[in-house]
């Protein structure tokens, strides 16, 4: 089942499932600062994408020493049905007093900017920080959508390349939260 809404010229679609199976120009990875892979969606992306993604991450790490929280870097996508993977590092939830909301917003904003730079037409996001990093799921969904709406409204020349944004929810809790939010946004 797919739910979607349209913001300006961009369609936002909700999918439940495994992001490594989603066909999109860019797939976003919820990475960690080392860029060397981990559990959760990070592990799934490296496993399905093959070792070329990790090799590129290692090169980025040698060049700039990993990736800071709230930042994003880009690699090719190996065996995934995508052209590129954007690796962004979400904040670890620490009670909310450590700028976690701003940092999470920054992940979405920087990923969208980078995808636009690469002329991507479609981009798929997982629910960044809501697994091992323990960001409360309701708040994470609100933050993700706010970042998205800020980016799409008003429409800028920069974001004009992105026609389709997928939110790929792996677990039922996130999926139901997003479905309620999108239904309410209709
Ligand atoms: P973080 O460290 O940013 O919390 P996790 O990978 O632990 O990253 O979790 C982020 C989200 O990704 C969680 O909501 C989790 O359910 C989801 N997730 C795990 N595996 C996949 C997958 N294969 N596809 C999409 N989402 C996934």
In this predicted model, what pLDDT tens digit does every residue of 45-103 receive, in sequence order? 999 999 999 999 999 999 999 999 999 999 999 999 999 999 999 999 999 999 999 99
Q: Which CATH architecture has domain 2-185?
A: 3-Layer(aba) Sandwich (3.40)
User: Of 14, 30, 174, which is best to mutate to test ligand 1, by the most ligand atoms within 8 angstroms of its C-beta?
Assistant: 30
Give the chain's mean pLDDT. Answer: 94
- How many angstroms separate the alpha carbon of residue 175 from the centre of ligand 1? 12
The question of ipTM being above 0.90 is answered as yes
Q: In the chain, where are the structural domains located?
A: 2-185
Mean pLDDT lowest for which of 74-78, 97-101, 150-154, 162-166? 150-154
Residue nearest atom 9 in ligand 1 by C-alpha distance: 131
- How many angstroms separate the alpha carbon of residue 145 from the centre of ligand 1? 17
Q: Structure pTM?
A: 0.96
DSSP letter string, the chain: --EEEEETTEEEEEEES-GGG---SEEEEEE-TT-S--SHHHHHHHHHH-HHHHHHHHHHHHHHSS--TT-EEEEE-TTSSSSEEEEEEPPPP-TT-SSHHHHHHHHHHHHHHHHHHTT-SEEEE--TTSSTT---HHHHHHHHHHHHHHHHSS--TGGGG--EEEEEE-SHHHHHHHHHHHHHH-
């Amino acid at each position: 089942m797919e739910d979607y809404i349209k913001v300006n010229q961009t369609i936002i679609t909700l999918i439940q499932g495994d992001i490594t199976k989603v066909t999109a120009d860019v797939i976003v990875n919820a990475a960690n600062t080392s860029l060397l892979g981990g559990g959760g969606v990070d592990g799934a992306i490296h496993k399905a994408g093959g070792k070329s993604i990790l090799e590129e991450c290692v090169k980025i790490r040698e060049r700039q020493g990993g990736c800071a929280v709230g930042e994003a870097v880009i690699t090719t996508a190996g065996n995934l049905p995508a052209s590129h993977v954007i690796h962004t590092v979400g904040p670890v939830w620490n009670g909310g007093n450590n700028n976690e909301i701003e940092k999470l917003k920054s992940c979405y904003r920087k990923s969208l900017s980078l995808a636009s730079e690469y002329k991507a037409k479609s981009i798929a996001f997982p629910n960044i920080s809501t697994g091992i990093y323990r960001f409360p799921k309701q708040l994470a969904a609100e933050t993700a959508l706010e970042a998205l709406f800020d980016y799409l409204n008003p429409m800028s020349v920069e974001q004009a390349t992105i026609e389709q944004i997928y939110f790929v929810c792996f677990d039922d809790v996130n999926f139901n939260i997003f479905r309620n939010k999108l239904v309410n946004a209709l």
